[in-house]
Chains A and B, each alone.
Chain A
């Protein structure tokens, strides 16, 4: 019963190229692991794991142009 017992949150991670990467999970660590399911090692290496902000999904539109 994931959404009731283990709710997910949205995170915006800084990337080495100045862009941001959107991820989601129970925690920042979980979000990064989920991202790794679909990104290559090289793509993951672009993400700075300890530089992130937690965002409300209603605020996401403000960051769309920064995604990479």
Chain B
């Protein structure tokens, strides 16, 4: 059924052009990765290559992550007629350089780009003359025609997406890049994915929904991608069972949705069917919001307890109402503490029964324009208050495309540029922020202030430096 959605109008005549799909990331991340998250596979690329191949449009592929030098990238690019890249803001510098190299070694070649950065920062994409075609928005219903007949399209193309994820084919995971060293291959479990600390390997990553409908000022993905129907519960379970039987046994699952805990009727069906029909009730990582937990606490408890939701990702972001408002998080300190107390109670009860308690994995932001020292102390206090948490702390990054990012850039306060989007955790990103204060805060210099009002058991020193991550 799905195949019929993609019917190329023009079939290429004669010899097929040689097409290369370049997976993007830091050099060496699939050789000797710096961390687990650099090894995630690109579901967008997997989906689009699956659609192309199902329609007889073949592509070769390698990843910059499989290479350890730009000379190697150049060598592997030679002889292709077309380069295709899914560009995100943090991979934009790699895409930019790759396109330059591709044109150098294949002067007559054409470069097709798409992805989130094309959607949120078109001006930056347009400034790169090597990008011959730029597809904005979802690409699943245009990719076949675009790749087989690029000349029929203008330089900037508005992509066409499926109405529902039910229309998507199952991603052919063997189209993803393989680990490029024996050492990494031994623990990668390709085409499943390696352990990242959230659950036992092999890990199956999967999407059940697309686009978070909230409008946090640091993200705003909902501004660009129309909402689409959620993937049916049955299909999600069928895919997990298929992966388990074909490539497994699966150890744990990562549900990569921007917002998993939404749509109560879907979640109720998940609670009913996942424990019944999945080959095993694998533990999984998935995301919620503090206010959705507070809105549907009974449902939250049921999902945690009955479906083995072992790692609950909530972007608490801050422990201060002022900062939550600056971020347009539309959650309050009270919402955050409600969610923390609820999961702590559930965890304590499970632990008392000898079960493994669920933990939070939480994005925390510091260095937000307008944040005071007291706001930052409140955030660190919230972190220390939380009994079971894996924090991922980052300095606020004003990405173009987000509401606050656009505004900070327009005010001339951003320190980010297209050369340094793929920043390091400690990078300074906004003018006027006292980053030394935050470094000292993470190092424990202000623990007396942070510990004020905390129970003594929560006052123990925690080294939060290791939790500082790329934003």
Q: Are B332 and A37 in contact (CB under 8 A)?
A: no
Q: What does the 1/0 interface line of B347-371 toward A look like (CB < 8 Å)?
A: 0000000000000000000001110
A19-B410, A67-B410 known; A1 vs B335 contact (CB < 8 Å): yes
User: 8 Å CB contacts to A: which residues of B355-413?
Assistant: 368-370, 403, 406-407, 410-411
CB distance from A14 to the nearest CB of B (A): 14
Q: Are A60 and B223 in contact (CB under 8 A)?
A: yes
Name the interface size band of chain A. Answer: 20 to 34
User: 8 Å CB contacts to A: which residues of B249-265?
Assistant: none
Query: In chain B, what residue has the closest Cβ to A66?
Result: B410
Binds A, one of B83-91, B320-328, B420-428: B320-328
* Distance A34 CA – B323 CA, assembled complex (angstroms): 9
Q: Are A34 and B325 in contact (CB under 8 A)?
A: yes
Is B149 part of the contact surface with A, judged by Cβ < 8 Å?
A: no
A60-B223, A68-B411 known; A2 vs B403 contact (CB < 8 Å): no
- Give every chain A residue within 8 A of B406 (Cβ-Cβ): 22, 60, 64, 67
CB distance from B312 to the nearest CB of A (A): 18
CB distance from A25 to the nearest CB of B (A): 7
Q: Are A57 and B291 in contact (CB under 8 A)?
A: no
* Distance A60 CA – B189 CA, assembled complex (angstroms): 42
* Distance A39 CA – B368 CA, assembled complex (angstroms): 12
Q: What does the 1/0 interface line of A12-56 toward B look like (CB < 8 Å)?
A: 000000010110110000000010011100010000000000000
A57-B403, A68-B411 known; A3 vs B325 contact (CB < 8 Å): no
Binds A, one of B37-45, B54-62, B212-220: B212-220
* Distance A62 CA – B330 CA, assembled complex (angstroms): 24
Is B294 part of the contact surface with A, judged by Cβ < 8 Å?
A: yes
- Give every chain A residue within 8 A of B222 (Cβ-Cβ): 57-58
Q: What does the 1/0 interface line of B186-202 toward A look like (CB < 8 Å)?
A: 00000000000000000
* Distance A3 CA – B214 CA, assembled complex (angstroms): 8
- Give every chain A residue within 8 A of B304 (Cβ-Cβ): none
Q: Are B330 and A37 in contact (CB under 8 A)?
A: no
Q: How many residues of B contact A (CB 8 A)?
A: 28
Q: Are A2 and B410 in contact (CB under 8 A)?
A: no
A2-B330, A3-B331, A60-B406 known; A24 vs B217 contact (CB < 8 Å): yes
- Give every chain A residue within 8 A of B322 (Cβ-Cβ): 37
CB distance from A27 to the nearest CB of B (A): 13
- Give every chain A residue within 8 A of B223 (Cβ-Cβ): 57-58, 60-61
Q: Are B215 and A8 in contact (CB under 8 A)?
A: yes
Q: Are A24 and B410 in contact (CB under 8 A)?
A: no
* Distance A38 CA – B325 CA, assembled complex (angstroms): 11
Q: Are B326 and A34 in contact (CB under 8 A)?
A: yes
CB distance from A43 to the nearest CB of B (A): 8
Q: Are B403 and A8 in contact (CB under 8 A)?
A: no
Is B295 part of the contact surface with A, judged by Cβ < 8 Å?
A: yes
- Give every chain B residue within 8 A of A19 (Cβ-Cβ): 410
CB distance from A9 to the nearest CB of B (A): 9
Query: In chain A, what residue has the closest Cβ to B403?
Result: A22
Q: What does the 1/0 interface line of B423-465 toward A look like (CB < 8 Å)?
A: 0000000000000000000000000000000000000000000
Most-contacted residue by chain B among A2, A19, A21, A58 (CB, 10 A): A2
* Distance A64 CA – B335 CA, assembled complex (angstroms): 32
Most-contacted residue by chain B among A1, A7, A39 (CB, 10 A): A1
* Distance A58 CA – B221 CA, assembled complex (angstroms): 10
Indicate which residue in B214, B295, B368, B411 contacts A1 across the interface (CB closer than 8 Å). Answer: B295
Q: Are A10 and B331 in contact (CB under 8 A)?
A: no
Q: Are A8 and B330 in contact (CB under 8 A)?
A: yes
B residues touching A (Cβ–Cβ < 8 Å)? 214-215, 217, 220, 222-224, 289, 291, 294-295, 322, 325-326, 328-332, 335, 368-370, 403, 406-407, 410-411
A-B contact pairs, 28 of them (CB 8 A): A1-B291, A1-B335, A2-B291, A2-B332, A3-B214, A3-B289, A3-B331, A4-B295, A8-B330, A10-B403, A19-B410, A21-B407, A22-B403, A22-B407, A25-B325, A37-B325, A38-B326, A38-B368, A39-B370, A57-B220, A57-B223, A58-B222, A60-B403, A60-B406, A61-B224, A64-B410, A67-B407, A68-B411
For the A-B complex with A2-B331, A57-B403 known, give 7 more contacts whose Cβ atoms are closer than 8 Å: A2-B335, A19-B410, A37-B325, A38-B368, A57-B215, A58-B222, A68-B410
Nearest 7 interchain pairs by C-beta:
A38-B370, A67-B410, A3-B330, A37-B370, A38-B369, A2-B330, A57-B223
